[in-house]
Structure 1
Amino acid sequence: MSASFERLIDGIIDALQIHVVPNSNDDFVRGQVFSAIYALNGLKLAADWKAGPLLEQVRLQDDTFAAVKRLADGMMHPESPAMPRIPSDMSDAAVIEALRDDGDRQLGQLLLWASGADARAVNRDLATEIEQLLRRAICDQLKIELATTPKSMLQQIAGGERDGGVAQG
């Protein structure tokens, strides 16, 4: 997405929030304006959807797989993928998304293993450490996902502010 497109969308949103919303006494019109703002925010995020956030998630997964391999050395555990999974010149978002989704599946299998009786029977402390590592990595990946998700329309309506905050008065 070009910077000018992002500025255009931001300008439209600002105009709606600064000039239309405060000057409208009709709840129906205000609701429609907030719906338009929500749609514009979604459009801005969708237009910006490049391989970047997906690549960041896959790299996070790869770092996690490497850490699990290192920590679980000698323990029988679900197989981790060969690294790196993405060549440095990869930019096809659909292919990267498929790798990310497969990585999610494999992380889930590792988490089930680390939190299960078999891993705990071999080394309870190490299994707990691996489980915590996996849970942190999954949370970090969700933070990346949430950063590319538009704010709730209800949050914007309730707050009346650009980022869904409460209006100051």
Structure 2
Amino acid sequence: MSASFERLIDGIIDALQSHVVPNSSDDFVRGQVYSAIYALNGLKLAADWKAGPLLEQVRLQDETFAAVKRLADGMTHPEISATPRIHGDVSDATAIEVLRDDGDRQLGQLLLWASGEGTRAANRDAATEIERLLRRAICDQLKIELATTPKSMLQQIAGGEREGGAAQG
């Protein structure tokens, strides 16, 4: 997506939030404007969907895999892909998404392994540290995912909030 397209969408949203919503006393019209804002935010995110967030998730997974290998130090664990899994400048979002999804599967298997009784019996401290690391990595991935997901339309209507700002009133 070009910067001018993003500025155009942001300008339309700003105009609706700054000028139309505050000057409308009709709840139906306000609801329709918030629906339009929601749709525009969704369009902006969909148009902006590119390899960036996926690459960030794959890199986060790779860092986690490397840390698990280091912490496991000789323990028998589920298969972990060789890292880094992406070399060079890859921009094919579909291929990166496949890597990300496979990484998610591996993270889940590792979490089940680390939280299992057999692993805890073998090395309680390492298993606890690996489990904590995996849970934090999964949460960090969700934060990336949420950053590319539009806010709920009901959240926008109820709070009247702008990105990074307080409710207008």
Equivalent position of 1:52 in the other structure:
52
Between the aligned partners of 1:132 and 1:122, the Cα distance in structure 2 is: 17
Between the aligned partners of 2:53 and 2:164, the Cα distance in structure 1 is: 23
1:28 deviates by: 1.2
Between the aligned partners of 1:57 and 1:17, the Cα distance in structure 2 is: 32
For the Cα contact (< 8 Å) 2:160–2:168, is it kept in 1? no
Equivalent position of 2:17 in the other structure:
17
Identity of matched residues, %:
87
Corresponding pairs, count: 169
Summarize the alignment of residues 91-106 of structure 1 with structure 2, pairs less than 5 Å apart.
91-106=91-106
Summarize the alignment of residues 20-169 of structure 1 with structure 2, pairs less than 5 Å apart.
20-163=20-163, 166-167=166-167, 169=169
Between the aligned partners of 2:167 and 2:125, the Cα distance in structure 1 is: 49
User: Compared with structure 1, are the counterparts of its residues 116 and 2 closer, same or farther at alpha carbon in structure 2 (3 Å cutoff)?
Assistant: same
Between the aligned partners of 2:136 and 2:161, the Cα distance in structure 1 is: 32
Unaligned runs of 5+ in 2: none
Unaligned runs of 5+ in 1: none
TM-score (norm 1): 0.95
For the Cα contact (< 8 Å) 1:45–1:150, is it kept in 2? yes
1:89 deviates by: 2.2
Between the aligned partners of 1:128 and 1:104, the Cα distance in structure 2 is: 20
User: Compared with structure 1, are the counterparts of its residues 13 and 168 closer, same or farther at alpha carbon in structure 2 (3 Å cutoff)?
Assistant: closer
